[in-house]
Structure 1
Amino acid sequence: MIDNEEYRQFLESVRFVYGYDFTDYAEASVIRRIRAFMESKRVGSLKDLGRMVLKDEAAFEHFIQDITVNVTEMFRDPFFYKSLRKNVINRLATYPFIKVWIAGCSTGEEVYSMAILFREEGLLERTVIYATDINQDALQKAREGISSINNMKSYTENYLKAGGQHSFSDYYKAKYNSVLWDKSLRQNIVFSVHNLAMDKSFNEFQLILCRNVLIYFNQALQSKVIGLFYESLCSFGFLCLGNKESLLFADKRTCFEEIDKKEKIFMKTK
């Protein structure tokens, strides 16, 4: 059993020592992941966990890797990508230079999916994709551009459903049990650590994707992060959320127009 006061004190200590703020994350979800981490490390109490991770940066890195969620795949939710091709790409093509922010990029599958889509739409050469995440271990995997060959069948199916225009195998090279994504896809990607709960806007973008991240935040943090995206978007820029997410709790919800209700694509209008 994790005591509520102990839980709050632990999160405040993590924020003070490392600058990671989990205080506005969905409590039940964070507690569940903390318990799982404690069980895996055979830690008996939250106080013991605090002593372990607050004094040992390496231990804290392992904690962050476990507590942040990294569930992703290439062309996840294929019809979202179809909607992007239909409703967004033509408008992005009017810009001489395109900046895309993928917030909460995890191990990079969504990043490489977007790079492939932009390549096929003839926009990749004038696009920079900024891929950020709180988890440095996940970011390193994303930078390496390596995936398991066991996933290629399902990834290929997703790609085709998403409106893929070529052979999916054109975009990677298989070696042993892994595949390496084509180097040309990585040339216009910038990977960086960014903490949505604490960090500020760092550029102006035409397109922001933050899919299946807000579901782990409470309502106050969801609104704060939507405000961050609002500040980071150019006029008539696009914001894409996960299919279980919405602008319902955001102060800036009236500043966006719904482009695709089902696929959660919005355009900044005010």
Structure 2
Amino acid sequence: MNVILKGLTDEQIAELIDLVKKVHGFDFSDYSKASLKRRLNRVMMIKKLEFYDLKHALLNDPGFFQDFLEEITVNVTEMFRDPSFFKAVNNQVVPYLSTYQHIKIWSAGCSSGEEAYSYAILMNKSGLKHKSFIYGTDVNTVVLKEARMGIYSFRNIKSYAENYQLSGLSGSLTDHFTTLYDAASIHSELKTNTLFSVHNLISDTVFNEFQLISCRNVFIYFETQLQEKILELFYNSLCPHGFLCLGSKETIRSDVFKKKFKAINQKENIYQKIGS
């Protein structure tokens, strides 16, 4: 088969969205069209597929869909990504969290687990590990397997260590890892209070009540209507006065939800739920 020479048309993309929804139950209709188009074209280029070959594989090859999903969903992450964000959480949110008897944190769209483990380390450094539990969720089962293992290349750890220092935490990131040749494994005590599972932000419902929900670098790939649907899910998943952390690249644009959350840190887009 020849490598695709031109991009998909809007009609072809709509056809693929409909097919995936009917056959696999994943609805990409409210994803950013520009982002989705880039990723679909990338899949076809990597797999050397024409449009009709892609349709055939999605219909008839169950194993292919997991590879497809891995390429379509966004899996870029780091430990303590955007250190100023974690500094703000540590200074402005953690003192409030410490007043709760139990602290449940949801890292939504957690990819390979670096963000969830960052929260686990933050809770540990704050003396709150004993009453904290971190849930990491994603639609991609492949990256969730990586997250459960908690093993990262030493090259990445060196990069993450710089983020850790810039976030203002004491000690070194490597204090929380065991070295394994050219990789490092996060300490088992941090894994104990961390659970990774499949959850689809688009179609799944509330599964717990959280004191903090973190969902960064995810909204930018969704259209406004889908963003509002997910904000409703987050609002209903937060305890009274719980915190929603979106990060500097994303914000609450909906007038409806601006009335349901108050901004704690406008630069890092950290919000607190208003009311019950």
Q: Which has the higher mean CA deviation after the structures are superposed, 217-226 or 163-172?
A: 163-172
What does residue 91 of structure 2 align with?
86
Are the equivalent residues in 1 in contact too, given 2:178–2:186 (CA < 8 A)? yes
1:188 is aligned, of 185, 190, 193, to: 193
Mapping for residues 61-72 of structure 1, pairs under 5 Å = 61-72=66-77
Secondary structure, counterpart of 2:38 in structure 1: helix
What does residue 9 of structure 1 align with?
15
2:240 is aligned, of 217, 235, 241, to: 235
Q: Which has the higher mean CA deviation after the structures are superposed, 229-238 or 154-163?
A: 154-163
Are the equivalent residues in 1 in contact too, given 2:247–2:270 (CA < 8 A)? no
What does residue 209 of structure 1 align with?
214
Determine if the alignment matches structure 1 residue 18 to structure 2 residue 48: no
| CA RMSD, Structure 1 to Structure 2 (Å) | 1.1
Determine if the alignment matches structure 1 residue 105 to structure 2 residue 118: no
One-letter amino acid matched to 2:119: M
Unmatched 5+ residue regions in structure 2?
1-6
Secondary structure, counterpart of 1:130 in structure 2: strand
Shift of 1:250: 6.0
Shift of 1:249: 3.0
Q: Deviations over 1:152-178 (max 9, x none)?
A: 222111101112122222111111211
Structure 1 moving runs of 4+ over 4 Å:
none
Are the equivalent residues in 2 in contact too, given 1:223–1:250 (CA < 8 A)? no
> How many pairs does the alignment contain?
269
Shift of 1:197: 1.0
Q: Deviations over 1:102-139 (max 9, x none)?
A: 10000011111110000010111111111000111011
Secondary structure, counterpart of 2:168 in structure 1: coil
> Measured at CA, do residues 80 and 200 of structure 1 come closer, stay the same or move farther in structure 2, by a change above 3 Å?
same
Shift of 1:15: 1.1
One-letter amino acid matched to 1:100: I
One-letter amino acid matched to 2:265: D
Are the equivalent residues in 1 in contact too, given 2:85–2:247 (CA < 8 A)? no
TM-score, normalised to structure 1, is: 0.97
Are the equivalent residues in 1 in contact too, given 2:109–2:139 (CA < 8 A)? yes
Secondary structure, counterpart of 2:253 in structure 1: coil
Q: Percent identity?
A: 46
Q: C-alpha separation between the residues in 2 aligned to 1:228 and 1:37?
A: 30
Unmatched 5+ residue regions in structure 1?
none
Q: Deviations over 1:30-65 (max 9, x none)?
A: 1100101101111011x3211112211110100011
Determine if the alignment matches structure 1 residue 43 to structure 2 residue 49: yes
What does residue 36 of structure 2 align with?
30
Determine if the alignment matches structure 1 residue 166 to structure 2 residue 171: yes
TM-score, normalised to structure 2, is: 0.95
